[in-house]
Structure 1
Amino acid sequence: MKVLHLNYSDIAGGAARAAYRIHHALRASGVDSQMCVNEALAGDWTVEGPVSTCARLTARLRPQLAKPLRATLRSKNSIIHSPAFLPSSWAKRLNSSDADVIHLHWVAGEMLSIADIGRIEKPIVWTLHDMWAFCGAEHYTDDARWRDGYRRDNRPAHESGFDLNRWTWRRKRKHWGRPMHIVGDSNWIARCASESLLMRDWPCQFIYYPLDLEIWTPIKKRDARTLLGLPLETPLLAFGAMGGRRDPRKGFDLLLKALGSLRGRINDLELVVFGQLAPQQPLDLGFPTHYAGHLYDDLSLRAVYSAADMLVVPSRNEAFGQTASEAHACGTPVVAFDIGGLPDTVDHLLTGYLAKPFDVYDLAAGIQWVLDSPLKDDLGKLARAKAEKYFDPAMVAKQYIDVYEKALLK
């Protein structure tokens, strides 16, 4: 069986890292898996990116060509919107390839158009890393048009201008007549796809992202802290600053409020921020703060997770949350809101704490609970056990092979 994965990038971004891990989990299980991308950064011979200078420039230019169209929509939803209208040669390339199955991942950035996807003749398996596939142009949304259909009478009050989401959704309805096999990266996203007007009759299931548990394994806490120059005895709370305050979906403002409520109640606590360097004028987070900078390799991330007493993921919306699964693999409990895909990773009061959605005081209570728990060491052991049970690449690959075999029977 030969499988061809399509994703915008191989390793830049959460969806890319997940797709790349799925690709290599399949190869390790004997599947002839190849990956095609518009942005190849890993230097991996199993990944094919644009070869010529012209092809590379074209791939970089395509996302920019959608900006004028996106500008016609005025919306308070600041998340990325992808109209996916520019035609490409991908359908022709895929149809003439020797692949048995086409596995789509995050194919936005005008990598291929909605019509292109509809012209793919081979069986399609699509892993959803966000909501775009069953929505309009938006990648995440709080409204329910994806469930009811994008009608003129149910447009959100905060939108005006050209209804880009309705136009995009109607093109999906027009061009995607043949069912695809949908894989959600969480129970939540799989359930949303199954309830959507666009995909409700399509086969759909949830499969965890894989993690190489020989690479993602705990480092002794003192060794990790020594490596990173962090205090050896003080409790440490880690959180990622990817997107920082620029992305409201990541909930940085909620974390600030939770930390503010802990001032004066917890004195012996320090923070570790990864994903950014120390700013020129650092925010007062209420506790001594260490900035670990941008971490691009697995060892550095392992060290941060292993050094911390907990990872906090304050996201308002998270399809899966790979930082949570990576932290668990390193034996670190996670405090997060009970939303999206995070309940699939975090077992409440066993491997961490799931706070009531967007309740900053409950998030603070979760932080304090982890710090005060007499079973703190057990939390880390249970987190690692959860990773071993669900994130094993061989097990994940087997589940995908089963999906491919079903797709080939259609």
Structure 2
Amino acid sequence: MKILHICGGSLGSGATLGALSLHQALIKQGVESSLIFSKGDNESNAQHVSPFFNSKLARKLFDSGTKWIEPQLLKSETKRKVKDISLGLVGHPFFLKNREIEAADIIHLHWINSRFLRIKAIQHFNKPIVWTLRDAWPYTGGCHYTNDCENYKSGCGQCPLLHSNDPNDRTKQVIENKRKHLPDGIRYVALSNWTAEQARASSLLQNQSIDTLYNSIDQNYLTPSNQSKESACAQFNLPTDKVILLAGAARLDSQFKGYKDILPKFPNAQDSNIHIVTFGRISKALQAATTAPATHLGSITSSEALKTLYGAADIFIAPSTQEAFGKTLAEAGACGLPVICYDTGGPKDIVLQGKTGYRIKTNCTDEFINATLKLAADPKTRSEMSAAAIEHTHKSFCPRLAAQKHIELYRTLLERPNDE
């Protein structure tokens, strides 16, 4: 079987890394798999991975000619600046002419936004389609995270992001556009039970086939490290006499990651036994607001370096309020870190309550801080949770298991009669 993964964004984005991990695991299982992405180059020289645009000039010309379209449409809806809404109306006009699309037996969609693939094009693949729900966009009227809004259950309209009271606003139109042009028979894959529940409750996907298949994590994190904690701390110039609280995301200031509410609340006491370490982009404002002892390392792209950093830490804190999966939580657990998170989204499947960490009621920041400080003061419980986290993540999120489950899904699609 020939599988083509399609994912918008750069090869370093979270969604594309998830798609890449699956792609590489499938190749190891003997599957003919390839992946195309929309931005940047294949700097890692990953096998059978290529950018959609063959030249930077072509990408630049396409961007300059299209980047204004959806913002202008949203501006006509509201005078306020709108973020985090994608309409799915713009895509490359010759997308379907791609040779790899023509050669594939199955098209596996991942994250398709940022003017990569428009909704109307999907119906013309004329092949079995798998679509991994890497955020909420496939079943909403344009938002990538639903927050507390439940309008996706009734077909959107009256969008709070648009500050709209119109039941037929742009989000309603996006839902109807998806309903009209998305072909029947797409197999949707949720990365967590929480995402599957949301999708099944949506107006758009309530009658569609939805499977829950976990993301896998890089095999590197599942391989035991021979490096001591002291050596790992020395590599990043971190203190060895403190409990290291690790916090990380591509953008720590993202409203969905929750760090803006949590990091400033850790106490700044001279006798504190904790030291906060962050990785990923972080604003100067959030750095200044974090008054507890802290080290900010910036972006870390190497899995080897990140594995070493996990080895230097004692607890991973992840206060995300919306998370389709939570790859960093799984990586941290695989490296033996107990995880403190909110009881929502993908982390509910990753963190076993009281065994591999603690899940705190969403947005209860004081309870989150207290649970973290209590665990920081309890080395015995941390040690027990560390062993349990390694066992759970190695059993649940290994690449081989993810590949095998996807192969089973692909086979059911290829064996399905053409008229279904």
The residue number in structure 1 matching 2:351 is: 346
- Report the Cα offset of residue 194 of structure 1: 1.6
Equivalent AA in structure 1 for residue 98 of structure 2: R
Equivalent AA in structure 2 for residue 101 of structure 1: I
User: How many angstroms apart in 1 are the aligned matches of 2:282 and 2:118?
Assistant: 37
The residue number in structure 2 matching 1:330 is: 335
The residue number in structure 2 matching 1:34 is: 34
Quick check: 2:341–2:360 contact (8 Å CA) kept in 1? Answer: yes
Q: What do residues 250-272 of structure 1 show as CA deviations (whole Å, max 9, x unaligned)?
A: 1123213542xx45597111110
2:259 is aligned with 1:252: yes
The residue number in structure 1 matching 2:71 is: 67
Quick check: 1:95–1:120 contact (8 Å CA) kept in 2? Answer: no
SS of residue paired to 1:242? strand
User: How many angstroms apart in 2 are the aligned matches of 1:174 and 1:113?
Assistant: 13
CA distance change for structure 1 residues 138 and 223 in 2, over 3 Å: closer, same or farther?
A: same
User: How many angstroms apart in 2 are the aligned matches of 1:267 and 1:296?
Assistant: 30
Q: What do residues 11-39 of structure 1 show as CA deviations (whole Å, max 9, x unaligned)?
A: 22111110110111111111100001112
User: How many angstroms apart in 2 are the aligned matches of 1:157 and 1:64?
Assistant: 19
The residue number in structure 2 matching 1:192 is: 198
User: How many angstroms apart in 2 are the aligned matches of 1:273 and 1:75?
Assistant: 36
User: How many angstroms apart in 2 are the aligned matches of 1:116 and 1:293?
Assistant: 38
User: How many angstroms apart in 2 are the aligned matches of 1:114 and 1:14?
Assistant: 22
2:282 is aligned with 1:296: no
2:318 is aligned with 1:317: no
The residue number in structure 1 matching 2:163 is: 159
Q: What do residues 235-285 of structure 1 show as CA deviations (whole Å, max 9, x unaligned)?
A: 11111253233x2111123213542xx455971111101114784994142
The residue number in structure 2 matching 1:44 is: 46
Equivalent AA in structure 2 for residue 41 of structure 1: N
Gaps (5+ residues) in structure 2? none
User: How many angstroms apart in 1 are the aligned matches of 2:269 and 2:343?
Assistant: 26
Q: After TM superposition, list the pairs within 5 Å mapping 1:251-400 onto structure 2.
A: 251-256=258-263, 258-259=265-266, 262-263=267-268, 267-276=272-281, 279=284, 282-373=287-378, 374-400=380-406
Quick check: 2:159–2:171 contact (8 Å CA) kept in 1? Answer: no
User: How many angstroms apart in 2 are the aligned matches of 1:391 and 1:76?
Assistant: 42
Deviates more, 1:172-181 or 1:72-81: 72-81
The TM-score with structure 1 as length reference comes to 0.91
The TM-score with structure 2 as length reference comes to 0.89
Match of 2:90 among 86, 91, 104: 86
CA distance change for structure 1 residues 100 and 177 in 2, over 3 Å: closer, same or farther?
A: closer
CA distance change for structure 1 residues 171 and 253 in 2, over 3 Å: closer, same or farther?
A: same
2:102 is aligned with 1:97: yes
SS of residue paired to 1:249? coil
User: How many angstroms apart in 2 are the aligned matches of 1:96 and 1:300?
Assistant: 35
User: How many angstroms apart in 2 are the aligned matches of 1:378 and 1:266?
Assistant: 26
The residue number in structure 1 matching 2:18 is: 18
Quick check: 1:38–1:59 contact (8 Å CA) kept in 2? Answer: no
CA distance change for structure 1 residues 232 and 114 in 2, over 3 Å: closer, same or farther?
A: same
User: How many angstroms apart in 1 are the aligned matches of 2:276 and 2:101?
Assistant: 53
Equivalent AA in structure 2 for residue 389 of structure 1: K
SS of residue paired to 1:66? helix
Equivalent AA in structure 2 for residue 249 of structure 1: F
Quick check: 1:5–1:36 contact (8 Å CA) kept in 2? Answer: yes
- Report the Cα offset of residue 352 of structure 1: 0.9
SS of residue paired to 1:143? coil
CA distance change for structure 1 residues 104 and 59 in 2, over 3 Å: closer, same or farther?
A: farther
CA distance change for structure 1 residues 225 and 91 in 2, over 3 Å: closer, same or farther?
A: same
Q: Percent of aligned pairs with the same residue?
A: 28
2:114 is aligned with 1:109: yes
The residue number in structure 1 matching 2:2 is: 2
User: How many angstroms apart in 2 are the aligned matches of 1:367 and 1:78?
Assistant: 35
Quick check: 1:37–1:48 contact (8 Å CA) kept in 2? Answer: yes
Quick check: 1:95–1:122 contact (8 Å CA) kept in 2? Answer: no
- Report the Cα offset of residue 357 of structure 1: 0.9
Equivalent AA in structure 2 for residue 165 of structure 1: T
The count of aligned residue pairs is 405
CA distance change for structure 1 residues 390 and 295 in 2, over 3 Å: closer, same or farther?
A: same
Match of 2:58 among 49, 55, 58: 55
SS of residue paired to 1:305? helix
User: How many angstroms apart in 2 are the aligned matches of 1:165 and 1:229?
Assistant: 49
Equivalent AA in structure 2 for residue 55 of structure 1: A
Equivalent AA in structure 1 for residue 55 of structure 2: S
CA distance change for structure 1 residues 225 and 76 in 2, over 3 Å: closer, same or farther?
A: farther
CA distance change for structure 1 residues 79 and 341 in 2, over 3 Å: closer, same or farther?
A: farther
Quick check: 2:323–2:345 contact (8 Å CA) kept in 1? Answer: yes
Q: After TM superposition, list the pairs within 5 Å mapping 1:111-260 onto structure 2.
A: 111-141=116-146, 142-151=148-157, 155-156=159-160, 159-160=163-164, 163-217=169-223, 218=225, 219-240=227-248, 242-245=250-253, 247-256=254-263, 258-259=265-266
User: How many angstroms apart in 2 are the aligned matches of 1:263 and 1:29?
Assistant: 50
Quick check: 1:212–1:393 contact (8 Å CA) kept in 2? Answer: yes
